Amino acid sequence: MLELKKRKRSKGFPLNHMISRKIRKDLSIAASAALIVSIFAWTTLIHVFPVARAVNLTSVSDTLTDSRPGFGANHTITYTNSTSTVGPVTIVYTFDPASSLFGGIGSVTINDVTSTQMSFAAACSGGKVTLSTSTTALTVNVCSGTTLATGTITLKTLNSKITNPTSTGSYIIRIGGTQPNSADTRVAIVNGVNVTAAVATTFTFTVAGLATSTSLGNTATTTGASTSTTLPFGTIAPNSHAELAQQLNVTTNAENGYAVTIHEDQDLTSQTGATIHLFSNANATSTPSPWTSPTNIINNPLTYGHFGITSDDASSSLLGAPNFGTSSALYAGSFNPTSTLTVMTWNGPSDGTTQNVGLTKVAFRIEIGTLQPAANDYTNNLIYVATPVF
């Protein structure tokens, strides 16, 4: 039976043909296996040895100091670099690559840029970078031997040399060069907003009376009471001074402050023509000085009595007004009809309640000698003038 099967099988298919078919089948299987092995090998190599490629910079921004069209501005360009940059390479900051609408870029020097990560120098050396410019770009040349680590990179321009485009819009700022990474950001150029407003002027000046035994800040003390419109000294005893005071309040929003001056319409004069002259001995001194009694010289009416003023406004002397003393009161007499005396002043807005700013006390002192003529009607008028400077 075995012989019969062999004869039948070889009857239609010669033995050589059968062997050839088997060889071709084996070669096909081998080729497929080789292809599978090759694909696996390439896949493995790609996995083990990734192909290097550029990646985008991240967190990229450019902050302008002025976004108005046609105005000079400083740029603060900040981004995160995921791979370290090793020189020699370039980092090119291009201002709107499709146009030349930003001006002044070519005039930027190393004195007009700064960076906490890059040290600019005129020529290359280890750890340094240099700067070159064109009409559209700033190029940072990272010198050989210089490495910029991964992380945040900041470039700031100074002195407002780069001029914004004259038209509003959105403009590309591109970071590229021969460094491996790149990215774009944008800045918006917009018109400025004109803000207008008005603040009404305010100015209030008041005079108030003070009670007996009121002490001023410079140690002067009242011997009687006053009102806002009167200084009633009454009968004055010789060789003993009498002192009355008033409180001045100023409230204003004047930017340059104000000044309050005083003058009299006449010396203290009676109906008979007798006069109590200004401090001291009718000299009408403009420089405040310690109080002195009248010299009371016979046949010299100028020495029989005098009338003076002091103020506890400590700021007046700092602003060029008379110094009326702080630890001890000083008095002046230059407030006659032809001269004025500044008794209160400030160089800005005042609230009307703060001492030396919006509140001051002014005291008036009279002293006579035994030769001052008797009269019960000595009188004059004191005139305050308050002037704001807006």
pLDDT score of 187 more than 60: yes
pLDDT at 189: 97
The verdict on 384 and 257 lying in the same domain is: yes
The per-residue pLDDT of the chain, averaged, comes to 89
Does residue 44 fall inside a structural domain? no
User: What tens digit of pLDDT does each residue of 336-347 get?
Assistant: 999 999 999 999
The verdict on 223 and 145 lying in the same domain is: no
User: What tens digit of pLDDT does each residue of 228-272 get?
Assistant: 999 999 999 999 999 999 999 999 999 999 999 999 999 999 999
The verdict on 216 and 129 lying in the same domain is: no
pLDDT at 10: 43
* Comparison of pLDDT for 118 and 28, the residue scoring more: 118
User: What tens digit of pLDDT does each residue of 296-327 get?
Assistant: 999 999 999 999 999 999 998 889 999 999 99
Is the pTM higher than 0.85? The answer reads no
**Over pLDDT 90: what percentage of the chain?**
82
pLDDT score of 33 more than 60: no
Domain span at residue 250 reads: 203-388
The verdict on 116 and 218 lying in the same domain is: no
Average pLDDT on 184-212 reads 96
The verdict on 83 and 171 lying in the same domain is: yes
Does residue 31 fall inside a structural domain? no
Q: Give 102's pLDDT tier (boundaries 50, 70, 90).
A: very high
The verdict on 177 and 210 lying in the same domain is: no
pLDDT at 38: 44
CA distances from 181 to 80, 127, 138, 148, 260 (A): 10, 20, 17, 13, 70
Q: What is the CATH number of the domain that holds 120?
A: 2.60.40
pLDDT score of 36 more than 70: no
Q: Give 41's pLDDT tier (boundaries 50, 70, 90).
A: very low
Does residue 158 fall inside a structural domain? yes
Average pLDDT on 186-205 reads 96
Q: Give 56's pLDDT tier (boundaries 50, 70, 90).
A: confident
The verdict on 225 and 178 lying in the same domain is: no
pLDDT at 9: 43
Does residue 4 fall inside a structural domain? no
pLDDT score of 52 more than 60: no
Average pLDDT on 279-298 reads 96
The verdict on 350 and 275 lying in the same domain is: yes
The verdict on 210 and 184 lying in the same domain is: no
pLDDT score of 27 more than 90: no
Q: Give 126's pLDDT tier (boundaries 50, 70, 90).
A: confident
pLDDT at 317: 87
Does residue 115 fall inside a structural domain? yes
The verdict on 278 and 178 lying in the same domain is: no
The verdict on 283 and 236 lying in the same domain is: yes
Does residue 194 fall inside a structural domain? no
pLDDT at 11: 45
pLDDT at 48: 36
Q: How far is Cα 115 from Cα 342, in angstroms, rounded to an integer?
A: 55
SS (H, E, C) the chain: CHHHHHHHHHHHCCHHHHHHHHHHHHHHHHHHHHHHHHHHHHHHHHHHCCCCCCCECEEEEEEECCCCCCCEECEEEEEEECCCEECCEEEEEEECCCCCCCECHHHCCHHHEECCCCCECCCCCCCCEEEEECCCEEEEEECCCCEECCEEEEEEECCCCEECCCCCEEEEEEEECCCCCEEEEEEEECCCCCCCCCCCCCEEEEEEECCCCCECCCCCECCCCCCCCCCCCCCCCCCCCEEEEEEEEEEECCCCCEEEEEEECCCEECCCCCEEEECCCCCCCCCCECCCCCCCCCCCHHHCEEEEEEECCCCCHHHCCCCCCCCCCCEECCCCCCCCEEEEEECCCEECCCECCCEEEEEEEEEECCCCCCCCCCECCEEEEEEECC
Task: Choose one of 189, 220, 244: the last residue of a domain.
Answer: 189
Task: Choose one of 158, 189, 220: the last residue of a domain.
Answer: 189
Task: Choose one of 138, 159, 189: the last residue of a domain.
Answer: 189
- How many domains, the chain? 2
In contact, 208 and 325? CB cutoff 8 Å: no
The verdict on 270 and 156 lying in the same domain is: no
Does residue 162 fall inside a structural domain? yes
Does residue 1 fall inside a structural domain? no
